[in-house]
């Protein structure tokens, strides 16, 4: 029996911009559901990588101070400029929460970055992180295209995080299904399909992997 490919029988994707030009990228649907489910951890002093969008959106009045780490100088939102994998100048044991969404694929040594995060978290502090599974990579014109090193599988993420954090204090999840994967690869957006279709979970098709990792209490 033949397959009806419809408009997907093509070599050019619907969008080369992760779906941003069509609405909300599919991975953002899973990222934001993860952060909402763990929003009680976004409190006290919070460090977010890149900007403070999710600190403000999900931390609200629980956040006493929000910091932003950016690898490049000149970002007006950055309160700390540095590389998570190599920077030893960030003070230790100062943050209650670190939000690192879609960050580790851009770091050649993600294990070193995790060690830095563990060091700068307070005892009992929490890392909320997301990484891409099924994905396209940044277009060559994007600033991150030259440092997009990885995509991840569940075993990879578990082994990386468990090398730094106590496995008993980590919670891992995989999000996505075949349809969501097709949408990501084609650059379709959340608005192109329905929420129930995105909510269906198939661990063999992980669009996004998430981890909530807690530093050992004092």
Domain ranges of the chain: 14-214
Q: Which CATH superfamily is domain 14-214 in?
A: Vaccinia Virus protein VP39 (3.40.50.150)
- Look up residue 87 and give its two tokens: 């920077």
- What is the tens place of the pLDDT at every residue in 38-54? 999 999 999 999 999 99
pLDDT at residue 3, as a whole number? 77
Q: What is the pLDDT of residue 4?
A: 80
pTM of the predicted model, to two decimals? 0.95
Could you read off the pLDDT of 94-117 as tens digits, one per residue? 999 999 999 999 999 999 999 999
Q: What percent of the chain has pLDDT over 90?
A: 85
């Amino acid at each position: 029996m033949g397959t009806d490919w419809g408009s997907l029988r093509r070599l050019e994707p619907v969008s080369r911009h992760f779906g941003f030009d069509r609405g909300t990228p599919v991975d953002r649907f899973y990222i934001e559901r993860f952060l909402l489910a763990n929003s009680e951890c976004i409190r006290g002093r919070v460090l977010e990588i890149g900007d403070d969008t999710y600190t403000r959106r999900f931390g609200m009045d629980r956040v006493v101070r929000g910091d932003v780490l950016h690898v490049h100088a000149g970002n007006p939102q950055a309160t700390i400029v540095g590389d998570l994998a190599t920077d030893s100048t960030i003070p230790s044991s100062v943050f209650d929460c670190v939000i690192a969404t879609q960050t580790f694929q851009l770091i050649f040594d993600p294990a070193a970055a995790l060690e830095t995060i563990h060091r700068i978290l307070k005892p009992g502090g929490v890392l909320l992180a997301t990484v891409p599974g099924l994905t396209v990579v940044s277009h060559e014109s994007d600033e991150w295209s030259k440092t997009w090193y990885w995509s991840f599988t569940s075993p990879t993420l578990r082994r990386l995080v468990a090398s730094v954090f106590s496995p008993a204090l980590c919670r891992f999840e995989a999000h996505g299904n075949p349809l969501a994967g097709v949408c990501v690869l084609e650059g379709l957006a959340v608005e192109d399909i329905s929420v129930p279709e995105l909510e269906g979970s198939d661990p063999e098709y992980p669009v996004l992997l998430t981890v909530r990792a807690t530093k050992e209490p004092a």
